[in-house]
């Protein structure tokens, strides 16, 4: 599901045994904060939740055409270790199955200047797409294992700007991204639109620490014309059999209706 890791700006803040859940929800029309629980100001790697803004970039630039075009074939040089990602994908499949190589083909097509400019225009987290020091890999790795970091508060702010059409992109970009994102039932008539992200913290020496899983679920809920932007983030302190993003998504699907009623 995209093995994104903790961004460097937040690494020093995570104690070895620390675990927590963070939930932020805000009414899109009024801006009222409905829920803000946990350390919502702390920044972590967006992992595959970054596919949400990547989709906006792709549709605005014309690299992506519509929810089912372009359809790109998997190639052996992509070297994914996940068998489920070794298949052809279009924008809808890419977002639903969180296919990393598709993201990287998209950013290569954008090129470093357009990619950097979009991240800055979106005011996305720390806006750092430099990548790993000395590797010149920010175009394909910055949101996964290195420099880019964002907080739950900032994730919700991005969703609100997206829904308010305040990102400075085309109408088609908003509409095609909405049509391509996966939808999930959340009870009491709510439908969630969103993207997961899963990863791990790093050790002090920079190695992946699989005993420190993290997970995102970012998007919005909609019912009868009302929309609520949300972020669910969880940080664990032991190995888990389920990806962190799947844990965050399941929890938000379960809790959303009750939280929205506050």
- With contact defined as beta carbons under 8 Å apart, do 129 and 137 qualify? no
The catalytic residue positions are 48
């Amino acid at each position: 599901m995209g093995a994104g890791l903790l961004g460097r700006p937040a690494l020093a803040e995570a104690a070895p045994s620390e675990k927590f859940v963070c939930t932020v929800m805000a009414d899109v029309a009024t801006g009222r904060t409905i829920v803000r629980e946990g350390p919502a100001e702390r920044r972590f790697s967006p992992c595959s939740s970054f596919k949400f803004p990547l989709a906006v970039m792709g549709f605005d630039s014309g690299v992506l055409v519509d929810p089912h075009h372009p359809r790109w074939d998997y190639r052996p040089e992509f070297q994914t270790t996940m068998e489920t990602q070794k298949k052809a994908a279009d924008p809808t499949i890419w977002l639903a199955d969180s296919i990393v190589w598709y993201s990287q083909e998209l950013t290569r097509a954008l090129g470093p200047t357009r990619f950097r400019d979009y991240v800055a225009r979106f005011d996305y987290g720390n806006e750092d797409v430099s990548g790993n020091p000395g590797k010149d890999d920010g175009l394909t790795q910055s949101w996964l294992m290195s420099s880019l970091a964002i907080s739950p508060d900032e994730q919700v702010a991005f969703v609100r700007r997206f829904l308010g059409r305040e990102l400075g992109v085309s109408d088609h970009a908003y509409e095609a991204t909405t049509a391509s994102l996966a939808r999930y039932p959340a009870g009491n008539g709510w439908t969630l639109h969103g993207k997961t992200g899963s990863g791990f913290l790093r050790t002090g020496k920079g190695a992946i620490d699989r005993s420190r899983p993290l997970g995102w679920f970012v998007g919005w809920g909609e019912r009868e014309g009302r929309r609520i932007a949300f972020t669910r983030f969880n940080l664990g302190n032991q190995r888990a059999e389920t990806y962190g993003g799947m844990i965050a998504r399941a929890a938000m699907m379960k809790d959303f209706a009750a939280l929205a009623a506050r």
